[in-house]
Structure 1
Amino acid sequence: MVDYRAARLNMVEYQIARRGLTEPAVLEAMAAVPREKFVPTALRDRAYDDTALPIAHDQTISQPYIVALMAWAAELERGNKVLEIGTGSGYAAAVMARLAGRVVTIERIASLADSARARLNKLGHANVQVIAGDGSAGCEAEAPFDAILSAAGSRTVPSAWKEQLAIGGRLIMPLGPFGDQQLVKIVRNGENDYARKTLVAVRFVPLLGGTG
């Protein structure tokens, strides 16, 4: 029988903190969310492996370090409203829910959205809204967002995301062709002023949808 709590704390220490991500709030969120609840039953004993894992519909749950890195780069605070593109199993949304005030997360595959919604509700994440739809268009009805995080990569930054980002907001996304993506942080400093910083090489599923 795997001691999931011990495995989770070990993951936080060795996979995240010792790689230089030492922001207390992020470490606390990663230590609090039971990743084993967000992976397929057959893979629960591998929930805290230092890798992405497959979920339904050929999608993945991201490597814990990448989830932590994205949350850290987004500089999430309690009053923030966050948009996530690509809910998947809901794991990253659960982490962000412990850091931000409200999380709106969009999943293209309706059955994944339904299961993530049920899972997040069961775990008590009342500040997360799961929407089934085209994440490439963002969520204009809820904009502006203090942070937007994408779990799918694109060759270009969707214009809707840039427009829906608040002044001072942070956009974290994989950018570039599949197989040659970089995780980038884009900060909106003014109406038409965006600054970009490259964080690390990554490999995410491609963004699909009207502007994917």
Structure 2
Amino acid sequence: MVTEDLRDRGIDDERVLAAMAEVPREEFVTHRDRDGAYEDHPLPIAEGQTISQPYIVALTLQAARLRPDHVVLDIGTGSGYAAAVASRVVSRVVSIERHAALARRAASVLRSLGYDNVTVVIGDGTQGVGDAAPFDAILSAAASGSIPESWFEQLAPGGRIVAPVGHGWGQRLHSVKLRKDGTRVVTDLGGVAFVPLVSDDPLPPRG
């Protein structure tokens, strides 16, 4: 996986590659999918969600320009796999998941594997986790029409958000750097397909 699906496709951050090699992806998928855990495509998990393909996880982490002292916010815990990989690259990961059952299972798996620098929070990912801010990077595993402003409010100056933007087949993975003067620099990393970002807050009434 690391050589053919990652390094040969342009992933050259050695710390990310080492983390991808270390984390046992088979521990984060269903029993029926364990034999295909290292194939480069998403796999279904509970609650209609998916575990992202390895290349996209690695691309997201590389684009975030992570350092060992960074604190990361992971939007959409899912199986916990992306949080586990990120935890091998940074100091601390805070991961938020709106599905309580998924969050509890991910927290249990992460704990059993010894990833004790990951905190899993049950909540609305569109709101971020303000109590743990600021974050050096915010990484999302769910797509929306635009990146929530609450995430930028919780991002440290000089930090990056890497998130899918758009709907359906029109999604693009964006890396957005927040400069210290408050301006934002967007890099388009290519087309992707993620589950939609869902908010628990009802839409305001029209009119």
Amino acid at match of 1:61: I
The Cα offsets for residues 74-119 of structure 1, whole Å up to 9 and x where unpaired, read as 1111110000000000000000000000000000100000000000
Match of 2:96 among 91, 106, 116: 106
1:158 to 2:148 alignment: yes
Letter of the structure 2 residue corresponding to residue 130 of structure 1:
V
Q: Is the 8 A contact 1:158 1:211 kept in 2?
A: no
Equivalent residue letter for 2:52? S
Q: Which of residues 25, 40, 56 is equivalent to 2:30?
A: 40
The one of 199, 207, 210 aligned to 2:189: 199
Q: Which residue of 2 aligns with 1:69?
A: 59
How many residues align? The count is 202
For 1:23 and 1:211, the matched residues in 2 are separated by 40
Verify the 8 A CA contact 2:64 2:137 in the aligned structure 1: yes
Q: Which runs of 4+ in 1 moved over 2 A?
A: none
State which of 169, 172, 175 in structure 2 corresponds to 1:182: 172
CA distance in 2, matches of 1:179, 1:82: 28
Provide the C-alpha distance between the structure 2 equivalents of 1:83 and 1:160, rounded to a whole number of angstroms: 12
Q: Distance in 1 between matches of 2:202 and 2:86?
A: 25
Say whether the 8 Å CA contact 2:160–2:177 is kept in structure 1.
Answer: yes
Letter matched to residue 39 of structure 1:
V
Superposed CA deviations along residues 30-57 of structure 1, whole A, max 9, x for unmatched, are: 0000000000001100101110000011
Gaps of 5+ in 2: none
Deviation at 1:211, TM superposition (A): 8.7
Which residue identity does 2:103 align to in structure 1? A
Identity %, equivalent residues:
50
Check whether the contact 1:136–1:211 (CA below 8 A) recurs between aligned residues. Answer: no
